[in-house]
Structures are given as C-alpha cells and as structure tokens.
Amino acid sequence: MKALRNLVDKMKPAFAKGGKLEKLHWVFDGLETFLFTPGHATERGAHIRDGIDLKRTMSIVITAMLPCLLFGMWNVGHQHFLALGQFTAVGDGLWDKFLFGAIKVLPIVVVSYGVGLGIEFLFTSIKGHPIQEGYLVSGMLIPLVMPVETPLWMVAIGAAFAVVIGKEVFGGTGMNVVNVALTARAFLFFAYPTMMSGDKVWVNLDTDPGQALVDGFSGATSLGYAAIGEVDKIASLSDSFWGFEAGSIGETSAFACLIGAAILLITGIGSWRIMLATLLGGAAMSYGFNLIGANAYMQIPVAHQLVMGGFMFGLVFMATDPVTGAQTDTGKWIYGFLIGVLAMLIRVINPAYPEGMMLSILFMNVMAPLIDHFVVQSNIKRRLKRAAVQTA
C-alpha cells in the first residue's frame, strides 16, 4: 500500500495546476480518492451529511449488492441448463452454471460501467468539477435490473440516457429527481418493450444446434404465469425466496437481497423506515387482494407475493436511494408504504405489466419532495399552535 501511495504521489504533479495533464486533474483526483481516504469531508450534495467520503458510502452499497450479482450469475446458468434438462438439481453442476452465467452477465456489467463512467469523465473534463461517484452504484444496479438477454448496445444506450438525462441535466450526483438505474430500465422498457419485458427465460441455443428444450418448457417467469392466470405454474414459495426462478439478473433471490439489507442497515447506509414501510405497504395491499379474491392472482398468499419478482430488490436497493427518497422520518414511512401499495396494485391489476416495482418507485421519487413539504409544514403548524398555547 505504501508503494502505491508513493507511485500516486509521483504522478500527482503532472495532473496538478500547471502540469502537463492539468485538464485531467479531476479524473486523477477521483481515482486517487477512490484508492485512499481524502483529506477533506464532503461539502455538498444530498447523499452525505457528515464527514464520511461519498466513495466509501458507494463502496458499501456495492458490497451489499455482491450477493445478488453472484447469485444472479449462477441463476442465469441454472435456468439455462434447467430448460435443457441438464443439471436439474440445484446442487448439480455448480461451477458449470456459475461460469456460464458469468460469461453472459459480466459483459453487461463492463458495458454499463464503461459507458456510464466514460460519460462521467467527459462531463468532468468539460465542466471542471470533481468526479461524482454516484454512478459507482448505478453502474452495478443497471445490469442487475436487466434481463440477461438484453443486447449490449441497448445496455449502452440505457446507461448513456440515465447518466445524461437522468442525472447530469439536473446538476449531477445528489441533484437527480428519479433513481438513475431505474431511469435506464424504464427508458429501455418503453423504447424496446418487446425486448425488455423480462417475462421469459433466456436460453442460449446458438452454440450447439443439437440442443433442444425439454418438453413443456414455455419460458414464462412466475410473474408472467400469474399475469395470465396460470398461478399453478409459478415457482414455489421456497424457490421464490431463495431465487431459483427466472427473472432479471439480480432480482430473483429475496435471500440475497436480505443479506444486502443487513449490510446496509448495520452500516447505517440504508433507511430501515423506508424498507419496513415498503414491506408493510406491499403486505397490506396483498392482504387486501386476498380478501377480495376476485381471481387467482389476488389469492396468492402475502408472503409469496412479497418474495416474487423484483419486489425485495427494489425495496432494499432502489426505494432507499438517499437522493430520490423522502428525507423526513415521517415522510419515509409514507413514501415507503405507498411504494409497496402501488407496486402490488400495478402488478396484480395490470396484466400487461407483471412487475410494478419500477413504476411505483419512479412515481414516488417524483412525489417525495411533496411528501416532505407537507410533513414539514405540518410540523411547523403544530409547533406554532403549541407556542401559542404556551404564551396565552
């Protein structure tokens, strides 16, 4: 580590004011402060309100997402071989499944970071401001919310749109109105709906023309089956909890999401109020549907609804975004509860869109400032009344 510190110190003069590479100063500064704790505290932006460096915060969030990424790689391979009738048991062919999945997933991660960070560096050089590290998390979230069959050119377009339109036009990290990763997902979903539905299992049959799918394989996900009323074909509660079902790369395993939630809560990065409120909102809406019971989808048990699809992933990593979420304690309860309610409402009522977490979070991102405004105004009025009584 000392040798690395000495190497960085030797390179620093070239990037300092008056140096040969002065225009790349902020790029060098970003890399340096990523490797070593900076000697200054964060001064602006909505993410941080104490002396912790933004990169350390982002690193913790990325660490929390690693279980979802690693499991997603394995599950891509598992679903592929399962569709072919090979390695059908969960414990069979572990390495083959993980290697197959890694080959398919890692290029998506590389493209997401390459395009996103490339645009970040471009804006940094043009505007002459420090690198804004928010994309360190968004660059990982974007691949995790994508179906594995998403073409790399689409990933690049989505990442570029998210950085430029979702973040930079509002002033950069800490100023964006909606979640950056969900902006990419929503843009691609509405721009290329036939390729981004995420309700089918991706199976690679190109490498071996002799491969054939097992009899009865349809390729629909659990949410896809439920949307058309074939609830008897959805994954079991156990499989949905552990993640042994098809879906976007990092969203299927509720267990992996809970590991990430534990990391975020222990380190104080994630908001337990938003997480709990979202869970309660989803549970309340699901229970309401159980009472109505108008169709088979409404009759799915509450616990099963909560672990299906990307609900738990959105609850842990998306709803808790410190920039786009509510800031007041009371506002966080309202914000999270409504996300859970709307997610289940969209999922069950709208058969054309089987997963409602993305739209519910984006909608509540826009509503979060309004929620905080009314909470603050309510507190002001209550204190004014209390002060009037005391002075009377």
Separation of alpha carbons 288 and 293, rounded Å = 9
Task: Print pLDDT tens along the chain (392 aa).
Answer: 567 667 767 766 766 666 666 555 555 565 555 555 555 555 544 444 444 556 667 888 999 999 999 999 999 999 889 888 888 888 899 999 999 999 999 999 999 999 998 888 787 777 666 666 667 888 999 999 998 888 999 999 999 999 999 888 877 767 788 999 999 999 998 888 777 755 555 555 554 555 655 554 555 688 888 878 888 888 899 999 999 988 889 999 999 999 999 999 999 899 999 999 999 999 999 999 999 988 888 999 999 999 998 999 999 999 998 888 999 999 999 999 999 999 999 999 886 776 789 899 999 999 999 999 999 999 999 999 888 887 76
Task: Reduce the secondary structure of 131-163 to three states and give it as a string.
Answer: CCCCHHHHHHHHHHCCCCCCCHHHHHHHHHHHH
- The answer to whether residue 230 is domain-embedded is yes
Q: Could you list the residue range(s) of the whole structural domain that residue 157 is in?
A: 54-202+217-379
- The answer to whether residue 312 is domain-embedded is yes
113-116 contact pairs (CB < 8 A, 24+): 113/139, 113/140, 115/155, 115/156, 115/159, 115/160, 115/163, 116/142, 116/159, 116/160, 116/162, 116/163
Separation of alpha carbons 339 and 268, rounded Å = 21
- The answer to whether residue 152 is domain-embedded is yes
- The answer to whether residue 5 is domain-embedded is no
- The answer to whether residue 8 is domain-embedded is no
- The answer to whether residue 125 is domain-embedded is yes
- The answer to whether residue 389 is domain-embedded is no
Closest CA to 54 of 33, 72, 73: 33
- The answer to whether residue 33 is domain-embedded is no
Distances (CA, A) of 27 to 32, 57, 138, 270: 9, 19, 19, 28
What's the structural domain count of the chain?
A: 1
